[in-house]
Amino acid sequence: MIRGSLVAVGLLISAAALAQGTPAQQGAAQALRPAIVYDLGGKFDKSFNEGVHMGAEKFKKETGVEYRDFEPQTDAQREQALRRFARDGHSPIIAVGFSQESALKKVAAEFPSLRFAIIDSVVPLPNVRSITFKEHEGSYLVGVLAAMASKTGKVGFVGGMDIPLIRKFACGYVQGVKAVKKDAEVFQNMTGTTGAAWNDPVKGGELARSQIDRGADVIYHAAGGTGIGVLRAAADAGKLGIGVDSNQNGLHPGKVLTSMLKRVDVATYTAFAQARDQDWGGHQVLGLKEDGVGWADDEHNKPLITQDMRDAVAKATADIKSGAVKVHDYMADQRCPV
Amino acid sequence: MDATALLTVLDSGLRLSIPLLCACLAGLWSERSGVVDIGLEGKMLVAAFCAAAAAYAAGSAWIGLAAGVAGSLIFALLHGFASITQRGNQIVSGVAVNMLAAGLTAVIGNAWYGQGGRTPPIEGPQRFGDAVLGHSVLVCLALAAVPITWFVLNRTRFGLRLRAVGENPAAVDTAGISVSALRYAAVMLGGVLCGLSGAYLSISQSAGFLPGMTAGKGFIALAALIFAKWRAWPALGACYLFGLLDAIAIRLQGVVLPGIGEVPVQAVQALPYAMTVIVLAGVIGRAIPPRAAGVPYVKER
């Protein structure tokens, strides 16, 4: 905290020395007191929220700037938490997850001098930076890998809450699978329709087992904490899982084919770092081209990825970047073509 | 649906019904003695946490099971003390147990492991693996508890007295038998069964504890208890039915049935609750609880 205030004081002095800054700039410089409101999965979900946490921790380590965070237990707490951070003068305040959209819309409008950011949703206010990802592109890549790793020609997908965003993951994945094997079968399951679906590993495990029973041998999850049960069930059955958001390859080394990386850590770090810049707001869409999504390649899954797979996924990456392959975005028209 | 698919659904139904069954039998013991227990959920949660934490620390699933049972027993005694010795309101005490368990497990878990209340994942010998026909030892224990409960409750002197305490405690008291001793015994038996249920959840069915991982199973067990009209064998049937519905709901997702179209999963998931309401409304016979259930016993002075 002391270091944090020292930095802030230092900035104030330099801002005063310049003595030319607009009020907005001074306000921004004065107020690097970042705060985060996580989504229901909690900051140690080994997945989406944990990615944000890692980004924030990295920033803290490098700059010494402390940040505050809050893990809501219920939907109603989101707005309270955002408002409390705003009242305390925190800026930027990062709202993690699409479900904070309505709460953030309200609070951000009440505190126009503070800076906010939202991950996974779009709030069109001048003081809010909206960050979304092209999850369909990353999912396409792991779909390619899944189809090539599958021996049965059947692969699975387990989603968390049944919402368009998760359908977007599923749709990109199916497209990737079908691009490799036209006749491959993809089983899709959603865990539930409420926030509890992000945190139910028992149900996730059962869903994965039901897909394995039907012949699936590679299962991709986009289900936060629920996915821990999915990866566990796949590993127990001697099949392969695919992680999501953070790199989950190390959870069951040799049993996790890869992870679809969604670089929320980078997005968080960048948001903290740019909080003093003049420009804020706007809508950032991070895809393959921007290194916002990708697939995890590390020592844990090295034996699972053959050279053929590496080549195929490299080609798919290049094709998507160049525009030769267009991965359909489910959220564009609420429909999946495959 | 071919034979293997049917078998896997039946199998999955069994796995999902075990936590319900143990909790349901726990409720049965407690309520048959006249102590209403809506704290099943909380005791399961405490047991799940203790089991995972102890299994992780000691490296043995059996020590985990013992710790789970012990944790659940402490909470059962708490409920017993409030509702038997202090003659407090049993519903309030049960709610308190639930809230205390939900908060305490998350807070202690976070303080110990710093992972948002989660315990570290448990592996290998820390966990009950598949032992009998693809099921763990705990499944056998849970299934064995059904005939034991039936026998003790219906064929032994202890069981007779226990049932009498739940119907007419004054008569039992008149016969010179301690009402509170019998009720404490019943509540503790419930604690042991809840411990088994929670341990199954965290160190057999999954691998580790998560805050709130019981996800309302304690309340479904209560519904099953009413559905089974407070009897042991029907409790097995009710819990297996609820487990099976859960398993079917999982497999029905997105499946298009001929003539019906895509089945909304929520409809299947709501079935246990709908059936309980139907039973309570007296459509399928009447469910009559033990007469003295929920009433603290006050000795006449």
Residues of chain A in contact with residue B268, where contact means CB-CB under 8 angstroms, are none
DSSP code at position B175: T
Instruction: Look up residue A36 and give its two tokens.
Output: 């985060």
Q: pLDDT of A263-283, one tens digit each?
A: 999 899 988 888 888 788 889
Which of B135, B244, B251 should be substituted to probe chain A, the one whose Cβ sees the most A Cβ atoms within 10 Å? B251
- Rounded to 5°, angle at Cα B207 from B141 and A185: 105
Phi, psi for B166 (deg, rounded to 5): -75, -20
Q: Is residue B260 part of a domain?
A: no
Amino acid identity, position B131: A
Decide if B34 contacts B83 (C-beta within 8 A). Answer: no
Instruction: Look up residue A331 and give its two tokens.
Output: 């959220």
**Mean residue pLDDT across chain A:** 86
Decide if A265 contacts A70 (C-beta within 8 A). Answer: no
Q: How far apart are CA B23 and CA A337, in angstroms?
A: 46
CB atoms within 10 A of CB A298: 12
Residues of chain B in contact with residue A206, where contact means CB-CB under 8 angstroms, are 12, 15-16, 246-247, 250
Q: Are strands B256-257 and B261-262 parallel, antiparallel or unpaired?
A: antiparallel
List residues of chain A with CB under 8 Å from any CB of chain B. Answer: 42-45, 71, 188-190, 193, 196, 199-203, 205-207, 209-210, 213-214, 225, 228-229, 232, 251
Q: How many independent structural domains does chain B possess?
A: 1
pLDDT at position A23: 40
B62 exposure class (CB count in 10 Å sphere: 0-12, 13-18, 19+): middle
Under the banding of pLDDT at 50, 70 and 90, the label for residue A20 is very low
Q: Does B248 touch chain A (CB under 8 A)?
A: no
Q: At what angle do helices A226-236 and A201-213 cross, to 10 degrees?
A: 40
Handedness of CA B217, B222, B226, B228 (dihedral sign): positive
pLDDT at position A30: 54
The fraction of chain A above a pLDDT of 70, given in percent, is 91
The fraction of chain A above a pLDDT of 90, given in percent, is 47
Which of A187, A213, A232 should be substituted to probe chain B, the one whose Cβ sees the most B Cβ atoms within 10 Å? A213
pLDDT at position A5: 53
Whether B199 has a pLDDT exceeding 60, the answer reads yes
3-state secondary structure of A43: coil
Nearest to B206 among A43, A213, A232 (CB): A232
CB contact under 8 A, B116 and A251: no
Return the C-alpha torsion angle A81, A87, A89, A92, nearest 10: 40
Q: Does B5 touch chain A (CB under 8 A)?
A: yes
Q: Does B256 touch chain A (CB under 8 A)?
A: no
Decide if A109 contacts A126 (C-beta within 8 A). Answer: no
Q: Is residue B38 part of a domain?
A: yes
Which residues lie across from A242 on neighbouring strands? A220, A258
**CA closest to A202 among chain B residues:** B206
Q: Which domains does chain A possess?
A: 2-133+265-286 (3.40.50.2300), 135-262+306-333 (3.40.50.2300)
**CA closest to A43 among chain B residues:** B116
CB contact under 8 A, A196 and B215: yes
Which residues lie across from A192 on neighbouring strands? A161
Residues of chain B in contact with residue A71, where contact means CB-CB under 8 angstroms, are 116
Q: Is residue B82 part of a domain?
A: yes
CB contact under 8 A, A201 and B206: yes
**CA closest to B117 among chain A residues:** A44
Q: Is residue B77 part of a domain?
A: yes
Under the banding of pLDDT at 50, 70 and 90, the label for residue B291 is confident
Q: How far apart are CA B177 and CA B273, in angstroms?
A: 38
DSSP code at position B114: -
Q: Are strands A185-192 and B261-262 parallel, antiparallel or unpaired?
A: unpaired
CB contact under 8 A, A42 and B116: yes
DSSP code at position B126: G
CB atoms within 10 A of CB A30: 16
Which domain does B163 fall in, by range? Answer: 18-215
**CA closest to B13 among chain A residues:** A206
Which of A49, A96, A210 should be substituted to probe chain B, the one whose Cβ sees the most B Cβ atoms within 10 Å? A210
Q: Is residue B33 part of a domain?
A: yes
Side-chain half-sphere CA neighbours of A72 within 13 A: 24
Q: Greatest CA span in chain B, whole angstroms?
A: 69
Q: pLDDT of A155-199, one tens digit each?
A: 999 998 888 889 999 999 999 999 999 999 999 888 888 777 887
One DSSP character per residue, A233-272 reads: HHHHTT-EEEEEES--GGGSTTTEEEEEEE-HHHHHHHHH
CB contact under 8 A, A199 and B212: yes
Q: How far apart are CA A58 and CA A18, in angstroms?
A: 29
Whether the model pTM is above 0.90: no
Mean pLDDT of B230-251: 88
Q: pLDDT of A99-157, one tens digit each?
A: 899 999 999 999 999 999 999 999 999 999 999 999 999 999 999 999 999 999 999 99
Under the banding of pLDDT at 50, 70 and 90, the label for residue A212 is very high
CB contact under 8 A, A213 and B201: no
**Mean residue pLDDT across chain B:** 87
Whether A16 has a pLDDT exceeding 50, the answer reads no
Distance, in angstroms, between A71 CA and closest chain B CA?
A: 9
Q: Is residue B12 part of a domain?
A: no
Which of B253, B266, B269 should be substituted to probe chain A, the one whose Cβ sees the most A Cβ atoms within 10 Å? B253
Q: How far apart are CA B69 and CA B202, in angstroms?
A: 13
Decide if B230 contacts B28 (C-beta within 8 A). Answer: yes
Decide if A206 contacts B13 (C-beta within 8 A). Answer: no
Under the banding of pLDDT at 50, 70 and 90, the label for residue B53 is very high
